[in-house]
Structure 1
């Protein structure tokens, strides 16, 4: 099975490339700029076609949440038009597409974990552009999986885990938002889930499993709880540690509003594909250990955005 993933530098792409190296039954090929550029729709089909995919993983995206407020045209060009072109290319080639989306399609007002049928209501440009991308992917053809995930981290690129470790090396206390809740999700786990689902789709082209799913880490916490677990784990491995001070969202203003509730229920994905993410604490410990102890096992770090 040949998986072609868009975006060489992203956390999920890097995790898929690493996972593919240890699998005899799958080949993972990443494509990116300059030959593939979501902001240049004319490059999309030729780049994907040349890679000869069995399945396309649409992971490339514009992920600068705050900057998107100032660059709405670019965000929509990449996340909506570009995503649609990737799905159209997959449809023309007769292969499925697995598209990554985000919790930011919701406004965070739900009292519990979001399910796939809950009403979407993005708070900002980034979420709106990703929702438009979902719609474009769905319109391109029926053989699609749209996977919404949240709070992504990994040994690669820039992310919350790396930020906490870096800050803890320089200061005694870190102020972290405590009134936003979600499911920390390891890109290593996302890659494993994608490979699992892709194998099922590849074996059974008539599998009636296409549609939209939530795919996030098991268990929930807030950002300050996530930070505390990262730093306590770091301390256990001999790494940096700092106290975490709870603050409110209003004490950490950002240009784009964030959902107060980003919790996603992944029960549908588990039921259909028979795969469930590990507890978020376990996956966090795996990544922190790699960053602090098993550095020699890391693939090269990529200059990726945090989502």
Structure 2
């Protein structure tokens, strides 16, 4: 990756992380942990890899994104705002009545959202159908499916993966956000996942395990996925829930955070200030 592109992606990641914290602090609550763990992946997608036009969100010649773990909507909304799909101020209307940014993504409300998600597991089937439809139309556009590790308790996910592999949907790139936690605790304690890499290989996927905060590695993995013909690729993102903000990484119940005490509020404000300072410094160079 070129040095200038690398810098731009790090600045974009900082903006997305800042926006997530700011919008949820303003709201007073929200799905923080699983949004923060996807920041770097979304930065690589919207900053480099994804084919899109924010001025024409429904342009036929575009890649599709399906955020199956729909509760992580804040990271998607932040990426869309920073990419020009709508004004950043709209982020502060999250969950308001009449907002275009509902708690979980809605394709009929939010520019840039290709599939309504939130009922965990079902996004995998939707992405499989979208990828199949694009293949039937001989399109060379990609479908990016993002699933959570806790979500993989759902059997429907594995049926969809089998479908994707069976029909050799090599333009469907699956990313598993392996942040080790779900709503009720650690994934290993709730439903031991064994090895996602081994299971996806057994289901017929080309599998790449990558550190979820290493944007150069993520970018290289997507390049490898695009170069793999006749077989879909799964990226297993080794992430941390609350990624990038130590206070929230260490918080035990960081799936959905309430900003109703000084400790949480001050931690968010401090992180926002640090990110703003980093962004200003980098953009002034």
Q: What TM-score results when the alignment is normalised by the length of structure 2?
A: 0.38
Higher relative helix content = 2
Q: What TM-score results when the alignment is normalised by the length of structure 1?
A: 0.36
